[in-house]
């Protein structure tokens, strides 16, 4: 094969972590063996420095990046990502994109000069577009004076650590394709998700845990009616080898499917069973000659190790009362967003590369004020606590937190059009999200929208730009991280030019 690959082999790289497979990433420019070597040495040193935390990092090889040719800097700004996906699309008008002048526009038609005949959903097609301002108060927060909605009192305290993106925009106008687009860079199924790309591009830090874990929450305080669906493709590996796909942890029962031994089998029995299985497998390996049998043996052993590493990960009994309290009362309930945030912190500590939380229930076509209050309650304190907790442990610098939905919501109303009771339709042209930690400047807002929070006025950030920036913070050049599929070199950022939003990097 090529130089990169040979090199990995010499290092025993194929003893890869979460699964076996012949995967080698495809990178456009080839590092010389020498460059690579120095990079790997460096990575190894870094590893030795940082491996003292949490669960033992068992595989030296697994820390080594899959392909250093795509790495842009010797020291990436971040090692982990926690992506807080607000599925259903929160209203930027009511949470982040403060438009005090809208007050005067109540129930006035949205000027066509603003809407420009843009396509709408089947729900509001052919209907009048009457503006409804947000009923919520906004206050300036922190030294930076960022405008934050009164629905986010806790998060407001973190204002100086947040970079609010107000000019996010996407192509899709319906949930399913829009979510697929944010998660995989494509509206249609079949592409690799963000976490899968990172697993593929960077390899593992902890050999005993997946590189990419997904946690979901729904049906809490806010939306319980129109809770939009999820699909396993959102954390799938698409065309990448499936070992890179996200592992969705379950909130009830086994966090990892089929993790627990069945009734009547304890760890002792399982160990004996695996000893017998291993002895027979090794015998067959000698007779048949297929090294795949060896892989089976090692995967069974890893499964056995996961039977202790995963419960250790999800067991919160050692968390202090202060920490638990900081995440709010919901942290005590299985499957809450707050509990998932705390889990995410524990995963970062143990070296999980990419953690994606999906909190559902933001699709507020009607009675938005009531439902949004509830949704904001679900996430506000937990997000704030997560940032604080990571900071306290010195992990915030290494961890990029992203908070975003799949699109925004319209300034014009749906449902009842009262000052304090309204709904909003899907809006792809602009939406807000925020970033924190991981080499991102705090206390800033980036990008602006017009007076109606309808079109981006300046500094647009397309979804692919967000992807490029995310990869960049992990030390990856998005142009160079690719994989050949059906005759094309596929990239997370697709084929249109994407840009790292350098202005927000610290």
Please report whether residue 266 would count as binding other proteins according to CB under 8 A. yes
Q: What is the largest CA-CA distance in the chain?
A: 82
Answer for which of 127, 137, 225, 333 binds other proteins (CB under 8 A) is: 225
Q: In this chain, which of 42, 74, 277, 392 binds other proteins, going by CB under 8 A?
A: 277
Tell me whether residue 54 or residue 238 sits nearer to other proteins (CB atom).
Answer: 238
In this structure, what token pair is assigned to residue 348?
């970062």
Helix (H) or strand (E) holding 446: strand 444-446
Rounded to 10 degrees, the C-alpha dihedral 366/370/371/374 comes to 170
Task: Check binding of 121 to other proteins (CB under 8 A).
Answer: yes
Among 54, 90, 236, 438, binds other proteins (CB under 8 A): 236
Please give the residues from 465 up to 494 whose contact with other proteins meets the rule CB under 8 A. 479-480, 482, 484-489, 491, 494
How many residues comprise the chain?
Answer: 506
In the region spanning residues 12 to 41, those forming contacts with other proteins, defined by CB under 8 A, are 14, 18-24, 26, 28
> In the range 66-95, which residues lie near other proteins by CB under 8 A?
none
Instruction: Indicate the residue among 227 and 316 with the shorter CB distance to other proteins.
Output: 227
User: In terms of C-beta density within 10 A (0-12 exposed, 13-18 middle, 19 or more buried), how is residue 41 classed?
Assistant: exposed
Nearer to other proteins, 293 or 316 (CB): 293
By CB under 8 A, how many residues form the interface with other proteins?
Answer: 119
Q: Report if residue 126 touches other proteins, rule: CB under 8 A.
A: no
Q: Segment 283-302, which members bind other proteins (CB under 8 A)? A: 283-285, 287-293, 295-297, 299-300, 302
- 204 belongs to the binding site for other proteins (CB under 8 A): no
3 state DSSP class of 200: helix
**Closest alpha carbon to 169 in 463, 485, 480, 471:** 463
Work out which of 81, 462, 492, 501 binds other proteins, going by CB under 8 A. 462
The answer to whether residue 186 forms part of the interface with other proteins (CB under 8 A) is yes
Task: Identify residues 291-350 at the interface with other proteins (CB under 8 A).
Answer: 291-293, 295-297, 299-300, 302-303, 306-307
Nearest Cα to Cα of residue 385 among 85, 80, 157, 90: 157
Candidates 231, 329, 419, 420; binder of other proteins (CB under 8 A) is 231
Q: Which residue's CB is nearer to other proteins, number 236 or number 447?
A: 236
- Rounded Cα–Cα distance for residues 225 and 330 (Å): 20
Residue closest to 157 by CA, chosen among 136, 139, 142:
142
- Residue 450's Cβ-side half-sphere holds a number of Cα atoms within 13 Å equal to 12
Please list every residue from 391 through 410 that binds other proteins, using CB under 8 A.
none
- Selected binder of other proteins within 142, 153, 189, 374 (CB under 8 A): 189
- CA gyration radius, the chain: 24
E strand residue ranges, 150-232: 162-169, 212-217
Pick one of 34, 48, 257, 267: the residue that binds other proteins (CB under 8 A): 257
Residue 307 main-chain phi, psi, to 5 deg: -65, -20
Closest separation in Å from C-beta 277 to other proteins: 5
Q: Which of 104, 263, 321, 502 touches other proteins (CB under 8 A)?
A: 263
Q: How far is the CB of 316 from other proteins (least distance, A)?
A: 19
In our burial notation (b when 16+ CB lie closer than 10 A, e otherwise), range 101-126 reads ebeebeeeebeeebbeeeebeeebee
Q: For residues 195 and 351, is the Cβ–Cβ distance under 8 A?
A: no
Binding mask 129-168 for other proteins (x = CB under 8 A): ----------------------------------------
**Interface with other proteins includes 436 (CB under 8 A)?**
no
Smallest distance, Å, CB 483 to other proteins? 9
Q: Would you say 367 and 213 are in contact if contact means Cβ atoms under 8 Å apart? A: no
Residue nearer to other proteins on the CB measure, 145 or 497: 497
- Select from 272, 370, 416, 419 the one that contacts other proteins (CB under 8 A): 272
Under 8 Å CB-to-CB from 288, ≥6 apart: which residues? none
């Amino acid at each position: 094969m090529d130089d990169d690959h040979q090199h990995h082999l010499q290092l025993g790289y194929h003893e890869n972590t979460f699964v076996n497979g012949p995967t080698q990433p495809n990178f456009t420019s080839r590092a010389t063996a020498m460059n690579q070597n120095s990079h790997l040495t460096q990575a190894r040193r870094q590893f030795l420095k940082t491996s003292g935390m949490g669960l033992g990092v068992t595989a030296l090889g697994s820390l080594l990046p899959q392909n250093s040719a795509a790495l842009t800097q010797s020291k990436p700004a971040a090692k982990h990502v926690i992506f807080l996906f607000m599925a259903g699309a929160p209203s930027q008008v009511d949470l982040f994109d403060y438009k005090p002048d809208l007050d005067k526009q109540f129930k006035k038609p949205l000027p066509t000069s603003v809407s420009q005949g843009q396509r709408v959903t089947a729900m509001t097609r052919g209907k009048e577009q009457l503006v409804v301002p947000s009923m919520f108060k906004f206050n300036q927060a922190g030294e930076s004076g960022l405008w934050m909605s009164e629905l986010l009192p806790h998060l407001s305290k973190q204002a100086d650590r947040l970079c609010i993106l107000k000019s996010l925009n996407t192509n899709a106008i319906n949930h399913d394709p829009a979510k697929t687009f944010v998660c995989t860079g494509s509206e249609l199924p079949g592409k690799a998700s963000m976490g899968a790309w990172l697993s593929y591009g960077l390899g593992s830090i902890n050999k005993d845990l997946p590189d990419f874990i997904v946690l979901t929450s729904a049906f809490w305080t806010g939306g319980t009616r129109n809770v939009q669906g999820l699909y396993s493709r959102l954390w799938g590996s698409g065309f990448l080898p499936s070992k890179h796909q996200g592992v969705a942890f379950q909130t009830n029962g086994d966090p990892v499917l089929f993790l627990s031994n069945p009734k009547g089998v304890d760890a002792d029995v399982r160990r004996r069973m695996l000893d017998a299985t291993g002895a027979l497998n090794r015998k067959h390996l000698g007779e048949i000659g297929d090294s795949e049998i060896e892989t089976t043996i090692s995967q069974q052993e890893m499964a056995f190790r996961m039977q202790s590493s995963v419960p250790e990960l999800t067991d919160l009994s050692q968390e202090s009362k202060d920490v638990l309290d900081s995440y709010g009362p919901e942290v005590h309930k299985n499957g809450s967003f707050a509990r998932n945030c705390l889990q995410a912190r524990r995963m970062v500590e143990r070296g999980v590369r990419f953690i994606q939380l999906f909190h559902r229930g933001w699709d507020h076509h009607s009675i938005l004020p009531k439902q949004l209050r509830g949704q904001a309650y679900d996430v506000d304190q937990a997000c704030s606590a997560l940032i604080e907790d990571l900071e306290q442990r010195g992990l915030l610098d290494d961890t990029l937190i992203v908070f975003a939905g799949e699109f925004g919501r319209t300034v014009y109303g749906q449902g009842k059009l009262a000052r304090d009771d309204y709904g909003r339709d899907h809006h792809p042209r602009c939406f807000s999200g925020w970033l924190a930690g991981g080499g991102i400047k705090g206390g800033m807002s980036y990008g602006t929208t017009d007076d109606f929070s309808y079109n981006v006025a300046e500094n647009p950030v397309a979804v692919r730009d967000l992807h490029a920036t995310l990869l960049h913070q992990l030390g990856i050049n998005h142009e160079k991280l690719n994989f050949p599929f059906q005759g094309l070199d596929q990239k997370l950022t697709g084929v249109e030019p994407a840009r790292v939003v350098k202005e927000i990097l610290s």
